[in-house]
Structure 1
């Protein structure tokens, strides 16, 4: 009976597409014209060597008016990166060039656009991480926690 159960388990797993497991490493978040993200918490298992985050701007406003990006930093670095990013301007996606505090970041996109970023999870487990939009004035509402579990 135990062998039958094991064979059944293997058969069931064989029917699950590999992409179902890979989806834990491919995350999607949406940004709106109402200056909000669709999620306040995001996580990926430590088994993901890399994580891909796709940002979809579901609104219709232009990137220079209501643009959004997705930025990941250690929580303690978030405010300093936001301040430095505001000075960097839209042409630099409101991020300081070459800033080592930025773990991952997408470009700024406007309504109807999509962007993505892929990053390594090495050394990120057990770190206090935050994600946010660095467009000036957005991070107060558009932020959340990111965990590698």
Structure 2
């Protein structure tokens, strides 16, 4: 009887593992109307790594309506965006040497996708994190909260 219970427990645990892994994978969309489709993304504190995929659902080229997804502490967001403008189009409007950037995707145009996998080491549940698009002028509309839950 113990073997059957143990086996049943293993089956239940193995069924739960893919679901826990899925909790650490996120998808967000940006469009030609300069909008993300979500204003908040969350992952459980149990995620040691997170994979985020950005899909550009519009049709405009990245030099006209490019989007990326940049994660930082909320207090650093505007300064990072200001530095992104200085970085210029040749650097996809992002100073990747800025250590305040926790993670970012590539800058993409309509119909394209970009993914990034990043560690949550050093991030805390309840911390004040935000994401935004660093293309010039987009931060005003394209931003949201990144939440790590207990």
TM-score under structure 1 length normalisation: 0.89
**What is the CA-CA distance between 1:123 and the residue it aligns to?**
1.6
**What is the CA-CA distance between 1:20 and the residue it aligns to?**
2.1
> Where does 1:69-108 land on structure 2 (aligned, <5 Å)?
69-108=68-107
User: What is the aligned partner in structure 1 of residue 122 from structure 2?
Assistant: 123
User: What is the aligned partner in structure 1 of residue 35 from structure 2?
Assistant: 36
Q: Deviations over 1:65-100 (max 9, x none)?
A: 001000001000000000010111122121113100
**What is the CA-CA distance between 1:59 and the residue it aligns to?**
0.7
Q: 2:70 and 2:56 mapped to 1: Cα distance?
A: 14
User: What is the aligned partner in structure 2 of residue 134 from structure 1?
Assistant: 134
Give the 3-state SS of the residue equivalent to 2:26 in structure 1: strand
Q: C-alpha root-mean-square deviation of aligned residues, in Å?
A: 2.2
TM-score under structure 2 length normalisation: 0.88
Does the 8 Å CA contact 1:121/1:148 hold for their aligned counterparts? no
Q: 1:84 and 1:123 mapped to 2: Cα distance?
A: 23
Give the 3-state SS of the residue equivalent to 2:37 in structure 1: coil
In structure 1, runs of 5+ residues without a counterpart are none
User: What is the aligned partner in structure 1 of residue 108 from structure 2?
Assistant: 109
In structure 2, runs of 5+ residues without a counterpart are none
Does the 8 Å CA contact 1:57/1:110 hold for their aligned counterparts? yes
Q: 2:23 and 2:123 mapped to 1: Cα distance?
A: 16
Q: 2:18 and 2:30 mapped to 1: Cα distance?
A: 25
User: What is the aligned partner in structure 2 of residue 60 from structure 1?
Assistant: 59
Give the 3-state SS of the residue equivalent to 2:23 in structure 1: helix
User: What is the aligned partner in structure 2 of residue 147 from structure 1?
Assistant: 147
